[in-house]
A = this chain, B = another copy of it.
Amino acid sequence: MTANETTPIEMQGPSCPIPHHHTETVVIGHGSGGQMTQDLIRNIFQSQLGNAFLLEGNDAARIPLEQLNGEIAVSTDSHVVSPMFFPGGDIGRLAICGTVNDVSMLGAIPRFITAGFIIEEGFAMDSLKNIVNSMAQACNEAGVQIVAGDTKVVEKGSVDGLFINTAGLGMIPAGRKIGGQYAKPGDAVLISGTLGDHGIAILQARGDLGFESQILSDVAPLNNMIERLLDEIPEVHVLRDPTRGGLATTLKEIACQSQVSIRLQEESIPIKPDVNIACELLGFDPLYIANEGKVIIILPDHSSEKALEILHNSPYGTNAMRIGEIFQEDPGQVLLETVFGSTRMLDLLAGEILPRIC
C-alpha cells in the first residue's frame, strides 16, 4: 500500500467513500482504521446493526439520559467460546445475551451495548456475517442497540478465530435494589430451568461427548422474562445467572456476599436426562456446568408460587423450579440435600473443567 496515494474517491450518499475492497476473508487491512476498516464496518456491521448512534461515526456514542432515572447498570464480558458455532447458538448470540443478562441481574432494563471484535487474519467473511446477524437478532429480541464498536485484526495465529467483547448499559428503575448481597433468611431459591445445557452442548460441538445427543445450548436473553417477574413481584432480593462455575459456584458467591447459608434439594433441581447422562459418563457435576439462559431468583418464600407461575408462562422459564431456601446459620455455606438423604457441601469451582465455554 502507498500511504500517500492520491486517487480521488467517489462518495456514497452525502458523506462516505464507497467500498473498494471485496474479500472472502478478513485481512489485516480490515483492522487498519482506514478505507478497508470503513468497508468492513459498512458492509458487515452497519448493514445489520446500524442505528442512529452508530451512524454518527464518532469515537463515542452520545446517548440522551431523558428516560433514565436514578441509576444505571454497567457490565462487560469477553467471549472466547470454542467452537464459535454450536447447537442452539453461536458466539454472536452468546455475546449479546451474556451482557443483556448481566445487566438484567441488577434488575436493570438493558438498553445499550458496545461491541469490540478481535479477528484473526483469514477469518471467513461469511462466518463473520452470520455471527453479526446472530447479534442483530439477539439485539432485536432483547430490545437493545449496539451504540459503539471497534474492530481489530491480528495476524494468523495471534487469536483463535474471533473473540468478541461486549459491554452493556441498562437503566435501574427507581427503588429497585437487587444484588447478590440481599439474600435473607427465609427466602426461597428458584431456578428458571434446566441446568448444564450450554456446557454440554459445547462439549457435543467439540466432538467430546462420545455419544449422539440433541442437546441445545440454552443461550437466551432473559431480560423480558425478568422484567415481567419484577413488574409483578418487586420484592425479589437476588437475581444471578449461573454461567461459568455453574449453579454451585454462583450460589456459593451469593452465600458469601449475603452472609447466609443456602440449602438445596437435589431432587428438585431440573436437569435434562441427556445432560445427566453426559455428566455421568464424563465425570462432571452438572451443578458446576455453565448455563447461558438461566437465572437464579432469591425472594421471600411467600412469593415463590406466583414467581414460578410467571416464569412458566415465559418461553425461557417453562422448567422453572423452587430448589432451596436461605438460612441464617453457617454463613457462606451451600448445602445439597442429596436424593440419597445425605448432605453435601458445595464449594466454589476449584480449577477449570471446561475452558472456553463462553
Residue of B at shortest CB range from A73?
B60
A347 surroundings in chain B (CB, below 8 A) = 5-7, 9, 35
Residue of B at shortest CB range from A159?
B159
Smallest CB separation, A118 vs chain B (Å): 5
Smallest CB separation, A36 vs chain B (Å): 6
A17 adjacent to chain B (CB < 8 Å): yes
A63 surroundings in chain B (CB, below 8 A) = 71-74
Smallest CB separation, A346 vs chain B (Å): 7
Smallest CB separation, A43 vs chain B (Å): 15
Q: Mark interface residues in A37-66 (1 if CB within 8 Å of B CB, else 0).
A: 110000000000000000011111111110
CB <8 Å contact, B75 and A61: yes
A262 adjacent to chain B (CB < 8 Å): no
CB <8 Å contact, A114 and B148: no
A32 surroundings in chain B (CB, below 8 A) = 244-245, 349, 351-353, 355
Which of A70, A160, A345, A347 has the most CB atoms of chain B within a 10 A radius of its CB? A347
Q: Report how many copies the assembly holds.
A: 2
Smallest CB separation, A104 vs chain B (Å): 8
A117-172 interface with B by 8 A CB criterion:
117-118, 147-155, 157-160, 163, 165, 167-170, 172
Q: Nearest 9 pairs between A and B by C-beta?
A: A33-B244, A34-B349, A1-B351, A167-B167, A165-B165, A60-B75, A76-B114, A33-B245, A3-B285
A68 adjacent to chain B (CB < 8 Å): yes
Beyond the given A1-B353, A32-B355, A33-B290, please list 8 additional residue pairs across the A-B interface where CB-CB is below 8 A.
Answer: A29-B350, A57-B253, A60-B103, A61-B73, A74-B148, A114-B167, A154-B356, A165-B167
Q: Of the candidates B3, B15, B356, which one forms a contact with A257 in the assembled complex, judged by CB atoms under 8 Å apart?
A: B15
Cα A259 to Cα B105 in complex, Å, equals 44
By the criterion of a CB under 8 Å from any partner CB, how many residues of chain A are at the interface?
A: 114
Assuming the contacts A58-B180, A76-B148, A179-B56, asked whether A165 and B33 have C-beta atoms less than 8 A apart, the reply is no
A202 surroundings in chain B (CB, below 8 A) = none
A241 adjacent to chain B (CB < 8 Å): yes
CB <8 Å contact, A152 and B80: yes
CB <8 Å contact, A345 and B288: no
Cα A355 to Cα B158 in complex, Å, equals 12
A243 adjacent to chain B (CB < 8 Å): yes
A3 surroundings in chain B (CB, below 8 A) = 248, 284-285, 287-288, 349-350, 353
Cα A86 to Cα B318 in complex, Å, equals 54
Residue of B at shortest CB range from A108?
B60
A102 adjacent to chain B (CB < 8 Å): yes
A20 surroundings in chain B (CB, below 8 A) = 350
A344 adjacent to chain B (CB < 8 Å): yes
CB <8 Å contact, B155 and A348: no
A249-272 interface with B by 8 A CB criterion:
249, 253, 256-257, 259
A324 adjacent to chain B (CB < 8 Å): no
CB <8 Å contact, B1 and A256: no
Smallest CB separation, A47 vs chain B (Å): 18
Residue of B at shortest CB range from A2?
B350
Residue of B at shortest CB range from A160?
B158
A11 surroundings in chain B (CB, below 8 A) = 256, 332
A118 surroundings in chain B (CB, below 8 A) = 78, 80, 118, 163, 165
Q: Of the candidates B31, B75, B167, B180, which one forms a contact with A355 in the assembled complex, judged by CB atoms under 8 Å apart?
A: B31
CB <8 Å contact, B29 and A116: no
Smallest CB separation, A135 vs chain B (Å): 14
